[in-house]
């Protein structure tokens, strides 16, 4: 079953389309990396799923049910923009206010549970305004986790975090899906970070889904290759083709795919009378893949 299924979602603001027939499928248990440039419609999509905005058209299903269904609404936790905390109150007090709003039966226990998940059980008494940005983001996630949601929606939670903050965030998100079986929809434009945790990707552009793919599909498209320059590119390419298979000339370089040992290649070419003037290891990762996909769409 899918956690989210969206068909033909359309939303305009003052006659301008923010979403224009968006389709989206997020399988249960996924960490779904929702990628797109600023203004492409990520936050609008998330707000519509959360019921903060009303769509012009389209269909949103959560766990197979209409998204307005009360039984399904209580299973959604979200952090969009910021957590709306009171700066002068402690982490614990802020969570308690939210727990009371939600009408939770055992608020104290639930607050300790979510603080533990976001690695902040020792900071419960800290005033919100004294928290670092990374801690504030994690408090936001703790807020969203109150009541044990099955779906967590996070809008750019790794924006502005330092390397360490990002690492902790990654660990928390993997923990949430693995331990609690929660599905996570996470939007970001920091592709390299999403790449480390996402099981699925959705690439949005101008309010439409350009492509959805699994991490395995992305991996099969991400490849390593060595690029190099010699005087006689054609002859070098012919030689390398015999030894390594997959070789191509592109943009004035010979590319040898699916290898990354530069020294062996240089030695081999020297033995065969070629002088290598430049050589470099490359990887087509999510970032390159995304840029390539975007430029392809643009040139149409």
Ligand X SMILES: Nc1ncnc2c1ncn2[C@@H]1O[C@H](COP(=O)(O)OP(=O)(O)O)[C@@H](O)[C@H]1O
The residues of the shown chain that bind ligand X, judged by CB under 6 A, are: 13, 18, 36, 38-44
Nearer to ligand X, 98 or 188 (CB): 188
Residue 299 contact among Mg ion, ligand X, none, beta carbon within 5 to 8 Å by kind = none
DSSP 32: E
Site for Mg ion in 241-300 (CB under 5 A): none
Q: What angle do CA 16, 21, 63 make, to 5 degrees?
A: 125
Beta-carbon contacts of 224 under 8 Å, excluding residues fewer than 6 positions away, are 257, 258, 259, 260, 281, 282, 283, 284
Beta bridge partners of 95: none
Phi, psi for residue 242 in degrees, rounded to 5: -65, -40
Going 134 to 135 to 140 to 144, the CA torsion angle's sign is positive
Chain position whose Cβ is nearest to Mg ion = 43
Residue 40 interacting with Mg ion (CB under 5 A) = no
Distance of closest approach, residue 38 Cβ to ligand X, in angstroms? 4
Q: From the CB of 155, what's the least distance to Mg ion, in Å?
A: 6
Give Rg (Cα) of the chain: 24
With a CB cutoff of 8 Å and minimum separation 6, the contacts of 130 are none
User: Does 43 engage in binding with Mg ion (CB under 5 A)?
Assistant: yes
Least distance CB 82 / ligand X (angstroms): 14
Of the pair 47, 255, the CB lying nearest ligand X is at 47
Question: In whole angstroms, what is the distance from residue 229 CA to residue 254 CA?
Answer: 6
Complex with ligand X: residue 75 or 208, whichever CB lies closer: 208
Tell the smallest beta-carbon distance from residue 17 to ligand X (Å).
8
CB of 245 to Mg ion, least distance (A): 43
Residues 6+ apart with CB under 8 A from 251: none
User: Which partner from the list ligand X, Mg ion, none does 13 bind, CB cut-off 5 to 8 Å by kind?
Assistant: ligand X
Distance CA 167, CA 195 (A): 13
Identity of the residue, 42 or 61, whose beta carbon is nearer to Mg ion in the bound complex: 42
Instruction: Count residues binding Mg ion (CB under 5 A).
Output: 2
Footprint of Mg ion (CB under 5 A):
42-43
């Amino acid at each position: 079953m899918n956690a989210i299924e969206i068909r033909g979602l359309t939303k305009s603001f003052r006659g301008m389309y923010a979403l224009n027939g968006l389709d989206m499928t997020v399988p249960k248990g996924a960490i779904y990396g929702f990628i797109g440039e600023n203004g492409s419609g990520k936050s609008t999509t998330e707000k519509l799923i959360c019921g903060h905005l009303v769509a012009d058209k389209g269909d949103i299903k959560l766990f197979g049910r209409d998204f307005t269904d009360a039984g399904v609404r209580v299973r959604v936790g979200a952090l969009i923009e910021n957590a709306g905390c009171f700066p002068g109150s402690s982490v614990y007090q802020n969570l308690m206010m939210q727990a009371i709003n939600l009408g939770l039966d055992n608020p104290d226990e639930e607050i300790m549970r979510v603080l533990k998940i976001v690695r902040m059980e020792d900071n419960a008494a800290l005033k919100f305004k004294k928290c670092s940005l990374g801690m504030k983001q994690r408090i936001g996630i703790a807020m969203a986790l109150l009541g044990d949601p099955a779906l967590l929606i996070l809008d750019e939670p790794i924006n502005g975090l330092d390397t360490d903050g990002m690492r902790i965030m990654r660990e928390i998100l993997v923990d949430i899906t693995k331990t609690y079986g929660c599905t996570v929809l996470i939007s970001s434009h920091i592709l390299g970070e999403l790449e480390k945790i996402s099981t699925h990707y959705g690439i949005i552009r101008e309010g439409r889904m350009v492509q959805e793919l699994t991490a395995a599909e992305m991996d099969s498209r991400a490849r390593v290759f060595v690029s190099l320059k010699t005087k006689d590119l054609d002859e070098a390419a012919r030689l390398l083709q015999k030894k390594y298979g997959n070789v191509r000339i592109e943009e004035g370089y010979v590319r040898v795919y699916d290898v990354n040992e530069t020294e062996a290649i240089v030695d081999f070419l020297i033995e065969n009378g070629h002088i290598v003037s430049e050589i470099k290891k490359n990887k087509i990762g999510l970032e390159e893949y995304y840029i390539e996909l975007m430029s392809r769409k643009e040139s149409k």
